[in-house]
Chains A and B, each alone.
Chain A
Amino acid sequence: MAAKKIVLNFPKEKIDKPIVARLIKDHDLSFNIMKASITPDQEGHMVLELIGDAPEIEKGIRFLKEQGVKVEPLAKDIRVNWGKCTQCGACVSICPTSALYVKDRQTMEVAFDTDKCIACELCIRPCPPRAIEVHF
Chain B
Amino acid sequence: MAKTIAEINEKIKKGQAVVVTAEEIIEIVAKKGVAAAAKEVDVVTTGTFGPMCSSGAYFNFGHTKPKIKAGGGTASLNGVPAYTGWAAVDLYLGATALPADDPRNKIHPGEFAYGGGHVIEELLAGKDVRLQIEAYGTDCYPRKHLDSWISLKDLNEAVLFNTRNAYQNYNVAVNLSGKTIYTYLGTLKPNLGNANYCSAGQLSPLLNDPFLKTIGIGTRIWLGGGVGYVAWQGTQFNPHAPRLDNGVPKRPAQTLAVIGDLKGMSPKWIKGVSFVGYGPTLNVGIGVPIPLLNEEIAKHVAVRDEDIQCAVVDYSEAYPQGKPDVLGEVNYAQLKSGEIEVKGKKVPTSGISSYKNARIIAEELKEQIKKGDFLLTEKVADLPTGADSPKFKPLNERPTKEGN
- Measuring CB to CB, which residues of chain A are less than 8 angstroms from any residue of chain B? 86-94, 102, 105, 107-110, 125-126, 128-130
B 15-63 contacts with A by CB, 8 A: 49-51
A59 to chain B, nearest CB (A): 40
Given the interface pairs A86-B271, A91-B350, A92-B348, the reply to whether A108 lies near B189 with Cβ below 8 Å is no
A86: min CB distance to chain B, Å = 5
Q: A128-B51, A128-B283 are in contact. Are A86 and B273 (CB under 8 A)?
A: yes
Q: Which of B128-169 contact A (CB under 8 A)?
A: none
Q: Complex formed: what's the CA distance from A32 to B102 in Å?
A: 40
B359: interface (CB < 8 Å):
yes
- A102-B283 contact, Cβ under 8 Å, with A86-B273, A128-B275: no
B355 touches A92 (CB 8 A): no
The number of residue pairs between A and B whose CB atoms lie closer than 8 Å in the complex comes to: 80
Taken together as a complex, chains A and B put the C-alpha atoms of A91 and B349 apart, in Å, by 10
**Considering only CB atoms and an 8 Å cut-off, how many residues of chain B contact the other chain?**
35
Between A and B, 23 residue pairs with Cβ closer than 8 Å are A86-B49, A86-B271, A87-B355, A88-B354, A89-B354, A92-B349, A93-B194, A93-B195, A93-B196, A93-B350, A102-B338, A105-B336, A108-B354, A108-B355, A110-B356, A125-B111, A125-B276, A126-B186, A126-B187, A128-B186, A128-B274, A128-B281, A129-B283
Note all chain A residues with C-beta closer than 8 A to B351.
Answer: 88-90, 92, 108
Closest 7 CB pairs of A and B: A93-B194, A128-B273, A108-B355, A93-B350, A126-B187, A89-B351, A93-B348
What residues on A are CB-neighbors of B349 within 8 Å?
A: 92-93
Q: Would A94 and B194 count as touching, CB distance under 8 A? A: yes
Verify B338–A105 contact, CB threshold 8 A: yes
| A130: contacting residue among B113, B193, B194, B357, CB under 8 A | B113
B109, B338, B356: the one contacting A87 at CB < 8 Å is: B356
State whether A89 and B357 are in contact (beta carbons under 8 Å apart), knowing that A105-B336, A126-B186, A128-B51 are contacts in the complex. Answer: no
- B231 in contact (CB, < 8 A): no
CA distance A129 to B271 in the complex (A): 8
- Asked if B353 is at the interface (CB within 8 A of a chain A CB), the reply is yes
- Residues on B lying within 8 angstroms of A by beta carbon are 49-51, 109, 111, 113, 186-187, 189, 193-196, 271-276, 281, 283, 336-338, 348-357, 359
B338: A residues at CB distance < 8 A: 92, 102, 105
Secondary structure at the A interface, as helix, strand, loop or mixed, is loop
Assembled-state Cα–Cα distance A86/B353 (Å): 9
| Cβ A86 vs Cβ B354 within 8 A | yes
Q: How far is the CA of A129 from the CA of B270 in the complex (A)?
A: 12
Q: Which chain A residues border B195 with CB–CB below 8 Å?
A: 93
Nearest A residue to B358, CB-CB: A108
- Can you name the residue of chain B whose Cβ is closest to the Cβ of A85? B354
Once A108-B356, A109-B356, A128-B283 are accepted as A-B contacts, the answer to whether A90 and B350 lie under 8 Å apart by CB is yes
A105 contacts which chain B residues (CB < 8 A)?
A: 336-338
Give A105 to B351 CA distance when docked, in angstroms: 12
User: Quick check: B357 and A87 within 8 Å, CB to CB?
Assistant: yes
Q: In the complex, what's the smallest C-beta–C-beta distance from A55 to chain B, in angstroms?
A: 38
Q: Min CB distance, B192 to chain A, in Å? A: 11
Residues of A within 8 A of B281 (CB): 128
Question: Complex: how many Å from CA A47 to CA B350?
Answer: 28
Instruction: Specify which of A90, A94, A107, A129 lies most central, judged by the most chain B CB atoms within 10 Å of its CB.
Output: A90
